[in-house]
Structure 1
């Protein structure tokens, strides 16, 4: 049985992964949280899952590289510098980074990319996400993932086309942009909607998470898949063969 280690084991996702791992055929070999030694965990497990914080990523990647242990990174709020670290680590070990481990979201991202690619430029793309009141980053990693999928579909990047929130006299909407709006409140686990608005018609693609366990199951399935992969950078689409 594959031995799975968890960075951020005391958080919501860390606890959820511990609950579902046996059902998915994985054994939890240990966990680490703030103040624990990440190297010790990396040395005793077959694959790691990181749902901690951006500040801890550098140390976790270093531990994974030193132990030659594959790692799934589900931590959100990552910067360009963090992604550069991931790229570097992927030269030595298998790394899967994603803003959402839901298999449903993974398929949604593919549908968004295909819709954006097939629709003409006069279809406007807007993304709306809502999460619980305690979420600390915005937009969500999932909204950014969906935004990147849409940008890829129109032959751009989210850095070029993204408009994160709007306020004041913004003027008319610029063609080829992708708007992202964030809502926070209550205990919402995660709602995401992608709207393609044309002249006289609208397409809506959406996903609602009702149980945090879907992310935990997806993370474990990703870890089991990654444990047998060569060094490189992967995403959830690879797990589904997309």
Structure 2
């Protein structure tokens, strides 16, 4: 039995990639497409329902799982919409504030909602491995991170970098907001021991590169993840959607729940 999919932000870079993969995968069915009023016209001719709001398309696609890679405000509205009907939603959007994440957790008590800052299997494995490496190396190793993305990315640091930073900080018994440094300029003095640097680089069409550095006495360890295409994230989102279709409300699910 195939999983029906509604794509929010269907005319965006990720939306187009997801729609194309759904069309190519027999296990999925494109049941609806949503985009803003200025872009929805570009979806004309689609064989599935098209609209400028999820609320308009959702009733036309019974049982479909919605996938949303857009912006925090749009994704939050998608979550509010599915919460009213109990329908399932997969969110790949980054840039949420702590308050917005709290709202997602509350809405997830009323509908199956899944959120991940990165849908890549490799990145999610790093979320488990890097804390182990951090604890094994000990406090004498400084931790820094550099992330590279395309010149259209709006949030900085990336959601993936922040999630990586959170798991690294927790392994040291820190809170990331207390120790994160994303800018250095001028005479800043010696680097504090309780610090994790996260620097962002933007340019070209880089899909996503994250490198974590562990720098200790006489040596340096580098762990790098490179995303070669958006299909990697789209495949992860579809995998999450197929899994989420069988889940009940109660918590904000993430990629770790699917392993």
The normalised TM-score by structure 2 is: 0.88
Match of 2:18 in 1: 17
Output one character per residue of 1:151-173: Cα deviation in whole Å (capped at 9) or x when no partner. 12212221122112222222211
Say whether residues 1:30 and 2:32 are aligned partners.
Answer: yes
Q: Secondary structure at the match of 2:114?
A: strand
User: Matches of residues 219-234 of structure 1 in structure 2 within 5 Å?
Assistant: 219-231=237-249, 232-234=251-253
User: Matches of residues 155-170 of structure 1 in structure 2 within 5 Å?
Assistant: 155-170=173-188
Query: How many residues are aligned here?
Result: 240
Say whether residues 1:237 and 2:256 are aligned partners.
Answer: yes
Q: Secondary structure at the match of 2:25?
A: helix
Shift of 1:24: 6.9
- Contact 2:79–2:113 (8 Å) recurs in 1: no
- Over 3 Å counting, the alpha-carbon distance change for 1:117 and 1:227 in structure 2 is farther
Output one character per residue of 1:126-171: Cα deviation in whole Å (capped at 9) or x when no partner. 1100011121111111111111121122122211221122222222
User: Matches of residues 69-218 of structure 1 in structure 2 within 5 Å?
Assistant: 69-218=87-236
Which one has the largest radius of gyration? 2
Say whether residues 1:40 and 2:56 are aligned partners.
Answer: yes
Give 4+ residue runs of structure 1 displaced > 2 Å after superposition: 21-24, 40-46
Shift of 1:221: 0.5
Q: Distance in 1 between matches of 2:76 and 2:256?
A: 24
Moved more, 49-58 or 119-128: 49-58
Q: Distance in 2 between matches of 1:113 and 1:69?
A: 34
Superposition RMSD in Å:
1.5
Structure 1's unaligned 5+ residue stretches are none
- Over 3 Å counting, the alpha-carbon distance change for 1:115 and 1:59 in structure 2 is same
Q: Distance in 2 between matches of 1:151 and 1:229?
A: 31
Structure 2's unaligned 5+ residue stretches are 38-51
